[in-house]
Chains A and B, each alone.
Chain A
Amino acid sequence: MSDLKTIVKEKLAGGADAFLCLKNEEGTVLPALITDADSPDLEFVDVGESRYPLGRILIDLQREYPDKRFAVLVRGCDERALIELSKLEQIDLDRLVMVGVACSTEEAEACGCPRPYPGDIALGEKVEAAPGREVIDEVESLGDAERLGWWKEQFSRCIKCYGCRNICPMCFCKDCALENPHLVEPGVIPPDFPSFHIIRALDMTGRCIDCGLCEEACPADIPLRSLYRKMQDIMEDKLEYRAGGSVEEKNPLSFLGTEHDIEKLEQE
């Protein structure tokens, strides 16, 4: 796509030391880090349909090259991830140039993203999409026992591949609670119900930016995205916070707050 190529060149000329995006080499989509305008990779840069948590690479890149400025291609979800990661001291937004891509109508509908476009759009047209609530509604229509049974059935398919965690743009812990033998018994498949999945859901609360990569990655088709989406609803409802919004907003689980905040919370 010539547009992206031009932009990459522009950014490299305009102060970015490298541009991180995806390339499509004969159908194989891979991340590409382009450091100069003569790079052969430039020919293959592609917005494409594929998605990849580039933020995970950026964390390492920024740590390794603290003096360099990076430009990165972002969709709406990528931008939300980078914003949230910056609050968690993993990404330095000051050393980052985001080049926004709006997802196409088909992409947006297929994905079910709450905001399929970034703040500044360099490529594509902004379209709105409605995030699916079918699974949440279905679960909420059930009584306690049925709910538990429903989830148990879903989670019983889990083969503990950790795909959901490994693809997650928001996961960066060096030691993962999912591998803590006190919480999740090693060598048991499916993993302990419900601790394995609720631990991940809790860790995602106030952090998940609803990209849906986890569900895409799950070989067992567990409706993970709905679970985490519900956690964000809870977070917004109870603590008035949704991950990936503005840089200024702070996650209430990450600061103490005032007595007034708590009194308000308790009165609800």
Chain B
Amino acid sequence: MADKKQSKKAGSEAAEIRKPVGAVMVVGGGVGGIQASLELANMGYKVYLADSSPSVGGVMGMLDKTFPTNECSMCILSPKMVEVASNINIEVITLADVLSVEGEVGDMRVKLRIRPRYVDIGKCTGCGDCTAKCPVKIPDPYNAGLDTTRCIRVPFPQAVPGAAVIDPEVCRWLTKEKCGNCVKVCQAGAVDFDQKEREETFQVGMVIAAPGYRPFDAGRKTEYGYGVNQNVVTSLEFERILGANGPTQGHVVRPSDGEEVKKLAFVQCVGSRDTTVGNGYCSSVCCMYATKQALIAKEHLPGIEPTIFFIDMRAYGKDFEKYYTAAESRHGVRYVRGLISGIRERQRTKNLLLRYADEAGCTQEEEFDLVVLSIGLEAPCGLKEGLGLEVNEYGFAEADPFLPVLSSRPGVLVCGAAQEPRDIPDTVTQATAAAGIASQALHGARNTLLTRREHPPEKDVGGEEPRVGAIICRCGSNIGGFVDVPAVVEYAKELPGVVWAEERLYACSQDAQDWIRQVVEENGLNRLVVASCTPRTHQPLFRETLQSAGVNKYLFEMANIREHCSWVHMQEPENATRKAQYLVKMAVEKARRLEPLVEGESGVIPRGLVIGGGVAGMNAALNLAASGFQVYLVEKEDELGGLARNIHFNLKGEDVQAYVKELADRVEREELITAFTAHEIVDVGGFVGQFKTLIRDAEGRETLLEHGAVIVATGGGQYQPTEYLRGEDGRVLTQWELEKRIAEKDPALADVERVVMIQCVGSREEERPYCSKVCCTEAAKNALALKELSPRTEVFVLYRDVRTYGFREDIYREAREAGVVFSRFDDDVRPDVRDVAGTLQVRVPDANLAGEMVVLNTDLVVLSTGITANPDNAALAPMLKVPRNAEGFFLEAHMKLRPVDFATDGVFVCGLAHAPKSIEESVSQAAAAAARAESILSKDKIVTEGVVAVVDADKCSGCGICLQLCPFEAVTYDEEKKVAVVNTSLCKGCGTCTAACTAGASRLQGFRSDQIFEQIEAAASAWRE
């Protein structure tokens, strides 16, 4: 709590005393660091993003797929990495470690040690010529050492920065002053052996630590023989094996002999839930990633038989349970409960014998071809030394119990796995939250350190004939070595509309940009074509240059003659040259039809609306207010507090009721927040930046609220059981009722001889096929509290899987140590609760005792009831134009990377409205949702991309198909004119609607059909030449 007050203080008083520094140092360039950086830059702060490795991307960049959607990891991460690379307000500092952090909130100094790369990032184009000539092979770190790369190399294809790096330990020049091939071959002169390690201090207002985690060293569990047995690999190594971009291109083969794998075993909890290696905690992600890897392996090799050996299946997150059950029942993944005690390698076959104790306690042995060790997550280095944070017994950053992004040190926020093992969406949520909290302290200095690119006024080229300029890039020898570049230039010069064409060694180099500006001006060019590499990484740069020459940046087209030509036709220079010419022709023909596009602008009402006044909603409102924004908080009940009013203490014994009350008091005191209790939402209109929401009180009085963003925090409910004699027998309680009695120190509890708790009441059932996430922890917490209150009371917990993920595992262990008995029952049975002549009796077949029936006479039965979706969501969803899932919870825009966003811009979600979760998770999500809302509210106007759909009202017949084809609700219907209208503030430019318009009334700017027809004609006519 102390921390929170400090950050609040930082947000108000400090800002008044002296203007804070409007910059933030983000430490760690994994998905958390990337997210925090993008958010901060977007909110108006300068960002330094430091990573100890040569590229951002972190572990996520190495993953093949992500659970529970099996989505391609790189596909979703690399656009974010490109965004980081092209954002001028994010300075990426690689090979950097934090030496020290000094100062106060708002004014901090971070000293970094920056190791030499030996390659000038400004000059290196990532062409790879040096790698081809480097004689030193090293194990490729990107592929977890499963194959080799060269000492000088671009870390991986999508690396940011996309520049080469030299490993100084093995470089021949640096170790023996021999070789120097790279210097010779680099036509850009980027290799620089004179670079020295240096220290640099950065002045920032806040620090966000997102250093991620260290994978557990599997070699420490000697019984598994990792490093000795060839066919025992870690899960991270297996991830690379599965990767289509990995060492085996996704073929599931064994390291020992390259044979396809038939029997595959996953060993769970390697380095987790294991006090023998000092890791008493659960690593939170391994059950799901093993399930994912088993599924993907099966996808690649349908005949493979994967078995997962586990203790408890911790499928606790949103949609995890469904993922797990589908894996088992539909996709043939075998789950075996049992801890592997040893692995033996067969000498001849290199197969592996796994020894384990089955559920009946008998020792079993089974043979497998390949064993994957599901290694846990350990705390990263440098939290204590460099960043000066306090750490817990496991080395993870100590954090505020209610808002875990607050570290022990004011001014340093922590997010992601450095604080507790967590998955990608939780990391992204925390990173976003951290950005928002940082902004609360720094908003007085918003936009003060931002670099804005100033451009000369745009020339009006409207009436002009197209004058196309074409630059053909050699990319050193990458294009020039395989494509006859002068021949392409000559060909380009002859194309209609081309008034100027030249080649260039590196079109992307800094000096080339000045040159481009010059030739555009000298030749009066009004269209530019660059034939070089992929527009996905380089289009922003060239557009920027064109803009700086006073030409609309959309009058630009690229021909990808490197990735799509010279590099893939290296043996056929003639054909490659011809193809390059054709690609240039296509680009020129499109360029001739390009028109200047105007980026749309719409105003922003700098106020937020929060729907729901529970813990999530109050936090969201308070966070927005702390960043200086007005907030409307609408709660349907008479008082604030929501579901948390039923919870009395948390894991660490903190008083939850006091916390809720303090929140409500702060909301009341906060002048920027207007709370409307006992109000319901009647209607929501408008769109991002300009919403109009009608609310109504019990007397029917209506109020219209105008605001720029919406945060949905409608909370959830508690499952109301009728089973287990609930409602019939007063001795059958819910956990909340028990908790209340414990909190009130009910003297009657001391006389209770025995309590039986039943888990999964209303959860993981057919009707609600999801895990409620909190009940296992709740039961362990209450069992332990009961034991503390009355040590002689016997407590039994009947469970299916104990899902005490992360540090919650500690309380599970403590409960067992205190004598609480955990007894497991199978998924297909339920305990039987009955009244036998006045005695409350629970009967259950104990799965850990081979199904032996256990009969417990008890004083109390406590039901761990699940969390349900708020039924009000059904009415709210269509008003906000946002979707819900089958269980009635709101469905976010993207499970992994947009955990608090909706596809509809300007609408965000947090708390139980999204899915069951703990209080601290709700609070983090609320802070993240507030940060996302702030990224809109902090802007004067919303600027939209030029590539959007537009509807020509004269041609539109109003059939309405395009309306329904928009995933972003960007198309509306003008009832008066009977035509479709695109709201360019919401349009993302996919063009799905345009393809359905047979009249051609709906068009995607920059990708109009006539432009594409011209490209097709150009391709065809080129071939016919």
Residues of A participating in the B interface, judged by any CB pair closer than 8 Å: 63, 88-90, 172-177, 180, 182-183, 203, 253-256
Beyond A173-B999, A182-B1009, 17 additional contacts (C-beta under 8 Å) are A88-B959, A88-B961, A89-B960, A89-B973, A90-B958, A90-B959, A172-B957, A172-B959, A174-B954, A174-B956, A175-B999, A175-B1001, A177-B999, A254-B961, A254-B964, A254-B965, A255-B965
Could you tell me if A174 and B955 are in contact, using CB atoms closer than 8 angstroms?
yes
Could you tell me if A173 and B958 are in contact, using CB atoms closer than 8 angstroms?
no
Q: Which of B960, B964, B1009, B1010 contacts A256 (CB 8 A)?
A: B964
Once bound together, how far apart are the Cα atoms of A182 and B1010, in whole Å?
A: 7
Could you tell me if B965 and A256 are in contact, using CB atoms closer than 8 angstroms?
yes
Q: Which of A89, A182, A254, A255 contacts B1013 (CB 8 A)?
A: A182
Of residues B960, B967, B1014, which shows the largest number of chain A Cβ atoms within 10 Å of its Cβ? B960
Contacts of A256 in B (CB 8 A): 964-965, 967, 992
How near does chain B come to A210, taking the closest CB pair, in angstroms?
A: 19
- Contacts known (A88-B961, A89-B978); A174 close to B1001, Cβ less than 8 A: yes
Could you tell me if B996 and A254 are in contact, using CB atoms closer than 8 angstroms?
yes
Contacts of B1000 in A (CB 8 A): 175, 177, 180
Between-chain CB contacts (< 8 Å), 12 pairs:
A89-B973, A173-B957, A174-B957, A174-B999, A175-B1001, A177-B998, A177-B1000, A180-B1000, A183-B1013, A254-B961, A255-B964, A255-B965
Contacts of B964 in A (CB 8 A): 254-256
Once bound together, how far apart are the Cα atoms of A216 and B196, in whole Å?
A: 85
Contacts of A63 in B (CB 8 A): 978
Could you tell me if B1010 and A203 are in contact, using CB atoms closer than 8 angstroms?
no
How near does chain B come to A123, taking the closest CB pair, in angstroms?
A: 31
What's the tally of chain B residues with a CB closer than 8 Å to chain A? 24
Contacts of A89 in B (CB 8 A): 958-960, 973, 978
In the complex, which residues 932-982 of chain B have their Cβ closer than 8 Å to any Cβ of chain A?
954-961, 964-965, 967, 973, 978
Once bound together, how far apart are the Cα atoms of A177 and B646, in whole Å?
A: 64
Of residues A89, A90, A172, A183, which shows the largest number of chain B Cβ atoms within 10 Å of its Cβ? A89
Once bound together, how far apart are the Cα atoms of A132 and B992, in whole Å?
A: 36
Once bound together, how far apart are the Cα atoms of A182 and B958, in whole Å?
A: 24
Contacts of B998 in A (CB 8 A): 173, 177, 203
The residue in chain A whose Cβ has the minimal distance to the Cβ of B962 is: A254
Contacts of B956 in A (CB 8 A): 174
Could you tell me if A175 and B996 are in contact, using CB atoms closer than 8 angstroms?
no
Once bound together, how far apart are the Cα atoms of A266 and B197, in whole Å?
A: 55
How near does chain B come to A38, taking the closest CB pair, in angstroms?
A: 33
- Contacts known (A254-B965, A256-B967); A176 close to B960, Cβ less than 8 A: no
Once bound together, how far apart are the Cα atoms of A84 and B931, in whole Å?
A: 46
Nearest 8 CB-CB pairs, A to B?
A173-B999, A182-B1013, A88-B959, A89-B960, A255-B964, A254-B961, A175-B955, A175-B999
The residue in chain B whose Cβ has the minimal distance to the Cβ of A178 is: B998
How near does chain A come to B454, taking the closest CB pair, in angstroms?
A: 40
In the complex, which residues 1006-1024 of chain B have their Cβ closer than 8 Å to any Cβ of chain A?
1009-1010, 1013-1014, 1017
Of residues A63, A183, A254, which shows the largest number of chain B Cβ atoms within 10 Å of its Cβ? A254
Could you tell me if B1013 and A253 are in contact, using CB atoms closer than 8 angstroms?
no
How near does chain A come to B338, taking the closest CB pair, in angstroms?
A: 34
The residue in chain A whose Cβ has the minimal distance to the Cβ of B973 is: A89
Once bound together, how far apart are the Cα atoms of A146 and B279, in whole Å?
A: 73
Contacts of B1010 in A (CB 8 A): 182
Contacts of B957 in A (CB 8 A): 90, 172-174
How near does chain B come to A188, taking the closest CB pair, in angstroms?
A: 16
- Contacts known (A88-B960, A89-B978); A176 close to B999, Cβ less than 8 A: yes
The residue in chain A whose Cβ has the minimal distance to the Cβ of B956 is: A174
How near does chain B come to A219, taking the closest CB pair, in angstroms?
A: 24
Once bound together, how far apart are the Cα atoms of A173 and B958, in whole Å?
A: 9
Contacts of A180 in B (CB 8 A): 1000
Contacts of A172 in B (CB 8 A): 957, 959
Contacts of A254 in B (CB 8 A): 961, 964-965, 996
Once bound together, how far apart are the Cα atoms of A99 and B1014, in whole Å?
A: 49
Once bound together, how far apart are the Cα atoms of A253 and B958, in whole Å?
A: 16
Once bound together, how far apart are the Cα atoms of A27 and B874, in whole Å?
A: 60
The residue in chain B whose Cβ has the minimal distance to the Cβ of A183 is: B1013
How near does chain A come to B781, taking the closest CB pair, in angstroms?
A: 38
Once bound together, how far apart are the Cα atoms of A177 and B978, in whole Å?
A: 21
The residue in chain B whose Cβ has the minimal distance to the Cβ of A89 is: B960
Once bound together, how far apart are the Cα atoms of A256 and B883, in whole Å?
A: 13
Once bound together, how far apart are the Cα atoms of A90 and B998, in whole Å?
A: 15
Once bound together, how far apart are the Cα atoms of A88 and B963, in whole Å?
A: 11
How near does chain B come to A66, taking the closest CB pair, in angstroms?
A: 10
The residue in chain A whose Cβ has the minimal distance to the Cβ of B966 is: A256
Once bound together, how far apart are the Cα atoms of A182 and B964, in whole Å?
A: 27
Contacts of B958 in A (CB 8 A): 89-90
How near does chain A come to B784, taking the closest CB pair, in angstroms?
A: 42
Of residues B956, B1000, B1009, B1017, which shows the largest number of chain A Cβ atoms within 10 Å of its Cβ? B1000
In the complex, which residues 675-720 of chain B have their Cβ closer than 8 Å to any Cβ of chain A?
none
The residue in chain B whose Cβ has the minimal distance to the Cβ of A203 is: B998
Once bound together, how far apart are the Cα atoms of A256 and B1009, in whole Å?
A: 21
Once bound together, how far apart are the Cα atoms of A176 and B961, in whole Å?
A: 17
The residue in chain A whose Cβ has the minimal distance to the Cβ of B999 is: A173
Once bound together, how far apart are the Cα atoms of A183 and B961, in whole Å?
A: 22
Once bound together, how far apart are the Cα atoms of A93 and B964, in whole Å?
A: 20
- Contacts known (A89-B958, A172-B957); A253 close to B996, Cβ less than 8 A: yes
Contacts of B959 in A (CB 8 A): 88-90, 172
Of residues B956, B957, B958, B978, which shows the largest number of chain A Cβ atoms within 10 Å of its Cβ? B957
How near does chain B come to A264, taking the closest CB pair, in angstroms?
A: 14
Contacts of B955 in A (CB 8 A): 173-175
Contacts of A253 in B (CB 8 A): 961, 996
How near does chain A come to B523, taking the closest CB pair, in angstroms?
A: 30
